[in-house]
């Protein structure tokens, strides 16, 4: 395994609790092909995906080397893997120049035959403790069910939008970048994707580093057959010929009106504003397309300001990235801030990780330092909140004012929420364009 954090032993407390139910918590060795296959089969069953094939399993061996893979095993069950979780250490982009280290949790599933006996709880609590052992200040996840994770201290921090664009109704009014958009084959694009993605995610709060192989999955894998073959790929090269963005998409023809197809944006990644403009313009002006559907986009796309009629773009939103703060000084000290100032936070956290009264001090260099305090100093604004709310505020995408009006955050004195917002808000709206 490349990263030693991936092979930290299974959490002893969860192992003991599961053993009391006759179950084993195991770290799956990515070199053990039968064990990886059983785990992938359990994961697919849990998420109601089609059963893996020999080809898809073979493609995923390398991915498993980039993740920590744990299985709950019931030796008496015909399909013994009854619980799955996958984890990887990630750099999460936050406001400010440096990313924050995070324990990215994926693939939480429990066999329908073993549900509601506390297996998922053991897995999640185990990996929160492991994250602390690994020295990471945050755990993060994307969720298929939004009602499960606040009980573990996660709060929704990044919302995403699904866009529906009626292209016949608009003209492009945005800039006309001097570089070129060109078609590229999937395999040729593979070489450019890590560099482009890396530059793009570093300038976008809410994005994280996805290992190279996880990214290739986003381009479609050969085992996905027609789903991969119907994708088209374009790349934007700047004036100097350097690749700065790419888009994968597919077009669904309208058989009743061939000029009115639907273009589905699968993934659009731009490392520069020019790449963003050029790729969107290419999509919007595509012949035989009357409608564009794009998911996992920012709730605040600049695109809206690059077309002649904003109403041609409709969006629906949902929570996407959830954040759990495990180490308050570590998390608040790693992100940057929009202003100097001080803020006191009274955090209620029954699990203990973030509990306490904290003072955040942001200096002239816009970095923060947080430490535990006994009493709020005179004149310092203060907020009382729980651990999920702290997770929701961490990336600066959720206004403190909104949470205060919702009764989720309580301000010490009227006006404290507004003062906190000046410090905490991110100049760029966070987004996460992928599931992990």
Ligand X SMILES: CC(C)(COP(=O)(O)OP(=O)(O)OC[C@H]1O[C@@H](n2cnc3c(N)ncnc32)[C@H](O)[C@@H]1OP(=O)(O)O)[C@@H](O)C(=O)NCCC(=O)NCCS
CA angle 357, 381, 347 (to 5 degrees): 25
Whether residue 149 lies in the annotated active site: yes
# residues near ligand X by CB under 6 A: 18
Min CB(117)–ligand X separation in Å: 6
Taking CB under 6 A as the criterion, which residues in 151-170 touch ligand X?
151
* Cβ contacts of 424 within 8 Å, gap of 6 or more: 337, 338, 343, 393, 396, 400
Interface residue with ligand X, options 109, 167, 392, 426 (CB under 6 A) = 109
Question: Residue of minimal CB distance from ligand X?
Answer: 120
User: Is 143 a residue that touches ligand X (CB under 6 A)?
Assistant: yes
Q: Binding ligand X by CB under 6 A: which of 92, 110, 210, 219? A: 110
* Active-site position among 88, 149, 154, 233: 149
Contact between 146 and ligand X per CB under 6 A: no
- Among 85, 87, 108, 362, which residue sits at the site for ligand X (rule: CB under 6 A)? 108
Identify the residue among 7, 144, 316, 402 touching ligand X (CB under 6 A): 144
Q: Which stretch binds ligand X (CB under 6 A): 6-14, 144-152, 269-277, 371-379?
A: 144-152
One of 12, 16, 32, 47 touching ligand X (CB under 6 A): 47
Rounded (to 5) percent helix, strand, coil in the chain: 35, 30, 35
Pairing state of beta strands 341-348 and 382-386?
parallel
CB of 104 to ligand X, least distance (A): 13
By CB under 6 A, name the one of 121, 264, 286, 295 that touches ligand X.
Answer: 121
CB of 122 to ligand X, least distance (A): 7
Q: Would you state the structure tokens that stand for residue 278, as one six-digit string?
A: 């050029």
**Near ligand X by CB under 6 A, which window of 110-118, 198-206, 231-239, 246-254?**
110-118
Query: Closest CB to ligand X among 334 and 432?
Result: 432
Distance from the Cα of residue 29 to its chain's centroid: 25
| The two three-digit tokens of residue 197, written as one number | 């993605």
Closest distance of CB 107 from ligand X, Å: 8
Smallest separation, CB 147 to ligand X (Å): 4
Using the rule CB under 6 A, is 23 a contact of ligand X? no
**Residues 197, 233, 246, 436: which is the catalytic one?**
436
Q: How many residues does the chain have?
A: 436
- Could you write out the DSSP letters of every residue in 129-145? HHHHHTT-SEEEEE-S-
Q: Any alpha helices (H) in 255-323, and if so which ranges?
A: 273-284
Strand blocks (E) in 136-280: 138-142, 155-166, 180-183, 232-237, 243-252, 261-270
Q: Which is nearer to ligand X, 107 or 216 (CB)?
A: 107
- Smallest separation (angstroms) from ligand X to the CB of 367: 33
The smaller minimum CB distance to ligand X, of residues 18 and 383, is found at: 18
Per the structure block, which two tokens stand in for 115? 């549900």
Q: Are 357 and 162 in contact (CB under 8 A)?
A: no
What the block records as the tokens of 232 is 């088209």
Pairing of strands 356-362, 289-297: unpaired
Chosen residue from 30, 46, 336, 396 binding ligand X by CB under 6 A: 46
Rounded to whole angstroms, the Cα distance separating 57 from 1 reads 18
Stretch that binds ligand X, among 53-61, 143-151, 173-181, 330-338 (CB under 6 A): 143-151
Query: Which runs of E-coded beta strand occur in 326-393?
Result: 341-348, 356-362, 368-372, 382-386
Closest CA to 183 of 241, 275, 246: 246
Q: Label residue 376 exposed, middle or buried (CB < 10 Å: 0-12, 13-18, 19+).
A: middle
By CB under 6 A, name the one of 8, 27, 132, 148 that touches ligand X: 148
Distance CA 183, CA 192 (A): 13
Collapse the DSSP code of 403 into the 3-class scheme (helix H, G, I; strand E, B; otherwise coil) and give the result: helix
CB of residue 105 to ligand X, shortest distance in Å = 9
Q: Closest distance between ligand X and the C-beta of residue 409, in Å?
A: 23
Which residues here bind ligand X, judged by CB under 6 A? 46-47, 108-110, 115-121, 143-145, 147-148, 151
**Residues known to be catalytic:** 149, 436
């Amino acid at each position: 395994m490349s990263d030693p954090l991936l092979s930290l032993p299974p959490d002893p407390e969860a192992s003991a609790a599961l053993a009391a139910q006759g179950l084993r918590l195991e770290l799956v060795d990515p070199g053990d092909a039968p064990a990886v296959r059983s785990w992938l089969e359990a994961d697919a069953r849990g998420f109601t995906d089609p059963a893996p094939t020999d080809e898809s399993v073979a493609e995923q061996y390398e991915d498993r080397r980039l993740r920590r893979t744990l299985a709950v095993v019931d030796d008496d069950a015909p399909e013994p893997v009854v619980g799955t979780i996958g984890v990887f250490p990630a750099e999460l982009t936050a406001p400010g120049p440096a990313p924050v280290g995070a324990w990215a949790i994926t693939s939480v599933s429990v066999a329908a035959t073993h549900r509601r006996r506390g297996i998922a709880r053991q897995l999640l609590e185990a990996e929160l403790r492991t994250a602390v052992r690994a020295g990471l200040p945050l755990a993060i996840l994307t969720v298929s069910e939004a009602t499960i994770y606040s009980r573990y201290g996660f709060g929704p921090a990044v919302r995403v939008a699904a866009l529906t664009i009626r292209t016949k109704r608009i003209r492009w009014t945005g800039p006309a970048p001097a570089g070129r958009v060109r078609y590229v084959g999937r395999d040729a694009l593979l070489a450019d994707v890590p560099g482009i993605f890396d530059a793009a995610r570093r300038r976008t709060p809410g994005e994280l580093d996805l290992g190279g192989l996880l990214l290739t999955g986003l381009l479609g894998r050969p085992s996905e057959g027609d789903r991969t073959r119907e994708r088209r790929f374009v790349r934007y090269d700047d004036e100097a010929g350097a690749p700065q963005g790419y888009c994968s998409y597919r077009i669904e023809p309208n058989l009743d009106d061939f000029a009115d197809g639907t273009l589905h944006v699968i993934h659009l990644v731009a490392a520069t504003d020019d790449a963003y403009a050029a790729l969107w313009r290419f999509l919007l002006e595509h012949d035989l397309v009357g409608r564009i559907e794009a998911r996992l986009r920012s709730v605040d796309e600049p695109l809206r300001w690059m077309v002649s009629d904003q109403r041609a773009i409709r969006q629906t939103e949902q929570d996407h990235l959830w954040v759990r703060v495990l180490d308050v000084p570590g998390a608040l000290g790693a992100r940057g801030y929009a202003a100097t100032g001080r803020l006191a936070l009274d955090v209620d956290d029954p699990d203990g990780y973030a509990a306490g009264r904290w003072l955040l001090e942001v200096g002239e260099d816009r970095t923060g330092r947080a430490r535990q305090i006994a009493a709020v100093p005179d004149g310092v604004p203060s907020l009382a909140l729980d651990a999920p709310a702290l997770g929701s505020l961490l990336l600066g995408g959720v206004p403190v004012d909104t949470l205060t009006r919702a009764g989720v955050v309580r301000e010490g004195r009227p006006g404290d929420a507004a003062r906190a917002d000046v410090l905490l808000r991110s100049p760029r709206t966070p987004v996460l364009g992928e599931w992990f």
